[in-house]
């Protein structure tokens, strides 16, 4: 069991409960502003989350409703731009919060000198204000979908973090909430801890080294504490 040098976090659904009460509301507000009757309820949005990337999700939705592919893409691009602005406002207004237990884990990692990084395929335009507002300046490397356009489950975002941060893959672990995220991390040669949420509890997370019911799950807390360099030794 190697000690940890770095932890790389996913954002959506992992660090923050952003999907149901953040992105979903922003998409619905963008539909409304555009005069469209489309609305995504909690269950519908859960199914759509299998499509990564907001623009792709929108385009697939309009195509499934019979829109020609070119028109669906154009509409999706336009709506997504506005949706991102609305999401930024929701973040500024404090609607998106850290998942329970995340703050404690980040503090423990910080106290032990373990580096923390972010690998997300969300847009930098909302990821950066979100991380700033909810967590402050603690992440050393933040790779977003604005720089790495291959969305998860592609390992590209994780590979870029490893390249920029220079941490060793053997002593780095990824934390994800979904099947696509776990595939991305494992594809980059990383071990992955899965902390599922209500949307992802039925995902296939079997290639993770640990599957936990969020960050307050004692199994997750123990997993990290056993791999922290110094301070947790000898604690009860």
Which residues are near Mg ion by CB under 5 A?
Answer: 10, 12-13, 177-178, 181
Query: Where do the H-state alpha helices sit in the chain?
Result: 18, 24-33, 42-48, 54-64, 69-92, 102-111, 124-135, 156-165, 179-187, 218-225
CB of 12 to Mg ion, least distance (A): 4
12 is annotated as an active-site residue: yes
CB of 14 to Mg ion, least distance (A): 5
* C-alpha separations of 93 from 38, 101, 105, 106 in Å: 25, 22, 25, 23
CB of 127 to Mg ion, least distance (A): 12
For Mg ion, give the closer residue by CB, 121 or 172: 121
For Mg ion, give the closer residue by CB, 72 or 193: 193
Classify residue 19 by its DSSP letter.
I
CB of 192 to Mg ion, least distance (A): 12
Measured CA to CA, the distance from residue 72 to residue 49 in angstroms comes to: 18
CB of 84 to Mg ion, least distance (A): 17
For Mg ion, give the closer residue by CB, 120 or 172: 120
Residue for token pair 């301070």: 231
Report CA torsion sign: 213, 214, 218, 219: positive
Six-digit token pair at 225?
């504490």
**In this chain, which residue has its C-beta nearest to Mg ion?**
13
Is there a contact between 195 and 215 (Cβ–Cβ < 8 Å)? yes
For Mg ion, give the closer residue by CB, 109 or 151: 151
For Mg ion, give the closer residue by CB, 5 or 177: 177
Three-state SS for 171-213 is HEEEEECCHHHHHHHHHCCCEEEEECCCCCCCCCCCCCCEEEC
Six-digit token pair at 106?
């980040």
Question: Left if phi > 0, otherwise alpha if psi is -120 to 50, otherwise beta: which for 218?
Answer: alpha
Residues annotated as catalytic (active site), given as ranges:
10, 12
């Amino acid at each position: 069991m190697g000690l940890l040098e770095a932890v790389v976090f996913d954002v959506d659904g992992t660090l923050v409960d952003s999907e149901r009460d953040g992105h979903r509301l922003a998409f619905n507000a963008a539909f409304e502003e555009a005069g469209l009757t489309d609305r995504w309820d909690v269950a519908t949005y859960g199914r759509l989350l299998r499509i990564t990337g907001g623009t792709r999700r929108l385009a697939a939705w309009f195509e499934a409703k019979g829109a020609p592919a070119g028109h669906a893409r154009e509409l999706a691009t336009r709506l997504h731009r506005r949706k991102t602005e609305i999401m930024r406002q929701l973040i500024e207004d404090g609607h998106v919060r850290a998942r329970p237990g995340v703050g404690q884990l980040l503090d423990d990692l910080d106290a032990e000198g373990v580096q923390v990084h972010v690998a997300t395929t969300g847009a930098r335009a909302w990821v950066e204000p979100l991380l700033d507002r909810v967590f402050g300046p603690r992440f050393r490397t933040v790779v977003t979908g604005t720089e790495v356009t291959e969305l998860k489950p592609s390992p590209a975002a994780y590979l870029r973090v490893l390249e920029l941060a220079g941490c060793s893959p053997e002593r780095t672990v990824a934390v994800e909430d979904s099947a696509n995220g776990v595939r991305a991390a494992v594809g980059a040669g990383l071990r992955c801890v899965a902390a599922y949420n209500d949307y992802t509890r039925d995902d296939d997370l079997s290639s993770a080294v640990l599957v936990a019911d969020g960050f307050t799950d004692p199994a997750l807390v123990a997993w990290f504490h056993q791999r922290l360099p110094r301070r947790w030794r000898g604690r009860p």
